[in-house]
Structure formats: C-alpha cells, structure tokens
C-alpha cells in the first residue's frame, strides 16, 4: 500500500473499520488509536472548525459492543504483531502507541452505553498490554458530564488511569455561539469541568481560530483569563491547558471565514495563562 499516514490524515475510515482508526498525533509524536463512537457523524455541538463531513445534530447510535471489541483486538494485533506500520509508511520515530483516544465524529459521551464502552476498551487494552504504558484519553466538549451515565464512565476511565481532555474554546456567550454553536452557558460548562476534575484527571483543551481576520479579541482574552482564575480556585488539581489551532481544513459552512490563529498570538496567550499557575502546551 502506498498510503502514508501523517499528522494531517485523521480520516476515520482509513483502515476500513467502523469504530477504530489510526492517527499520527502531532501533539504526542506517535500513533493514537482513535475510537469513533459517533459513527453516524452526529454531535450535540457544531464547532466551526470541525473536520467531520456531513455533520448533523444528534447523539451517538446504539453501541455494537461485539464489533467494537473485535475491531480493537484486530487493530491492536496488527500494530503490535503485524505489518501496520510498514503498510502505512509510518515514520520510524512514530512507531509507538501513544494513546487510545475516544474522539471520533461527534460527542462520545452522548453514547447511551458510554460507561460500558469505556470499560470494554480499557479491558481489551489492558489484556493486550497496551495499558498502562499508553494513555487512555477521552476528548469531549464536556456538555453532558452532569449526566449520571457520563459520570459513571469517567469513574471507569479513572480506574484505568485515563484522563479527560475537556474542550473550552471560549468563555463568552457570543464566542461560544460563534465557535461552538452552543447555547450552554459558561457557568454550566465550568460546573461540568469541576465535576470532571473530581472524577478523573482532566486537562483543558482550547482551540483558537482567527474568525474573519479578527484575531483574539480583548473581550475573549480577558473572559478566558477570568475563567482560568476561577478554575485555579475551584479545581486546584487541574493544572494543564492545551492550546492549539486549525491544522486541517474545516468542513463546516464557516470554513471560508476562519484561519489558523498565528503562533505569535498562541504563544502570548499561553504566557498569560502560565502566569496564573497553569502548565500550557502550544500546538500550531
């Protein structure tokens, strides 16, 4: 096969499986085994930088647990004992499983059987000795963490030493409507963030995009820093923030209006956040 797997190829069908897909992670510098629970391309938010084609409003469909388990076992075996890296021309220095990340084409916590899925993935990866050497990550917009089924899933994730990457792109009502197309209040998101940090190790991930060449406004900057001061007070164990920007073209209607935020802006903003006592990583 002449396909080369790179950091810009995040297609969930690249290996022809339903739930499992590979990503060469630019943040981690190796293989991230992606788990896509939203195989119907449905999400309860619609972020304007989203690269999911034909994204629709909705929740994840019913889980086919047997299929997820068989695919995960098959794929991990191909990576650990087969010729996966050769077939996809993965660079030598990237030939290591860095994590198993539940992300995919929508909000994974919308899955009814969310806790069961977490346990299944954790059990299989532990049996195949991928865990605990590799990370177990949930990438989420955090909007449903107030639900009992999601909290149950975070408890299971924590039992496997996993962590939550909690999306917080804007701390203003205007910004959240524009960037995430959500009316969920910042207050509710903060409450969910606190819940998440109490149940499982949690990091904040923030995507900054330049909308209509406006850069990062003073209002957005100050509101976000105010939020982080609250986080520092109410979630003292939450100390890590991941800043990043657009890496691949958006497939949403607003695509023509957004560009990656400049590295200079990202770095300056990172310094502001570090002054509040957080560890901040920057990925362009």
**Over residues 74-90, mean pLDDT:** 93
Average pLDDT, the chain: 93
pLDDT, position 10: 45
Instruction: Please give the domain boundaries of the chain with CATH numbers for all domains.
Output: 20-283 (3.20.20.70)
pLDDT tens string 1-41: 446 555 454 454 567 899 999 998 766 789 999 999 999 99
Q: Name all contacts of 273-279 with Cβ < 8 Å and 24+ positions apart.
A: 273/225, 273/228, 273/241, 273/243, 276/225, 276/228, 276/229, 276/232, 277/232, 277/239, 278/228, 278/232, 278/239, 278/240, 278/241, 279/239, 279/240, 279/241
The percentage of the chain sitting over the pLDDT mark of 70, rounded to a whole number, equals: 94
More confidently predicted of 23 and 66: 66
The pLDDT value recorded for residue 26 is: 67
Average pLDDT over residues 107-114: 98
- Chain-centroid distance of CA 1 in Å reads 29
pLDDT, residue 218, reads 96
Span 154-165, average pLDDT: 98
Closest CA to 110 of 155, 35, 67, 58: 58
Query: Is residue 51 very low, low, confident or very high in pLDDT (cuts 50, 70, 90)?
Result: very high
């Amino acid at each position: 096969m002449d396909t080369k797997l790179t950091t810009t190829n995040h297609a969930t069908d690249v290996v022809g499986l339903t739930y499992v897909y590979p990503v060469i992670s630019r943040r981690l510098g190796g293989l991230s085994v992606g788990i896509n629970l939203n195989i119907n391309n449905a999400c309860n938010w619609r972020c304007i930088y989203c690269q999911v084609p034909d994204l629709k409003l909705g929740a994840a469909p019913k889980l086919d647990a047997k299929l997820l388990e068989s695919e995960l076992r098959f794929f991990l075996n191909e990576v650990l004992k087969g010729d996966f890296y050769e077939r996809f021309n993965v660079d030598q220095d990237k030939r290591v499983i860095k994590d198993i990340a539940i992300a995919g084409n929508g909000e994974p916590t919308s899955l009814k059987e969310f806790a069961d899925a977490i346990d299944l993935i954790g059990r299989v990866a532990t049996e195949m000795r991928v865990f605990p050497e590799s990370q177990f990550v949930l990438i989420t917009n955090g909007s449903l963490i107030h639900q009992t089924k999601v909290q149950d899933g975070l408890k299971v994730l924590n039992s496997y030493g996993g962590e939550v990457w909690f999306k917080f792109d804007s701390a203003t009502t205007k910004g959240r409507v524009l960037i995430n197309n959500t009316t969920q209040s910042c207050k509710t998101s903060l409450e969910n963030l606190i819940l998440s940090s109490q149940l499982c190790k949690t990091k904040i991930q923030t995507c900054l995009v330049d909308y209509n060449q406006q850069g990062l406004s003073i209002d957005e900057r100050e509101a976000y820093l105010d939020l982080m001061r609250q986080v520092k007070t109410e979630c003292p164990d939450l100390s890590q923030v991941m800043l990043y920007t657009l890496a691949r073209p958006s497939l949403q209607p607003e695509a023509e209006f957004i560009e990656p935020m400049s590295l200079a802006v990202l770095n300056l903003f990172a310094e502001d956040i570090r002054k509040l006592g957080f560890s901040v990583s920057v990925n362009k």
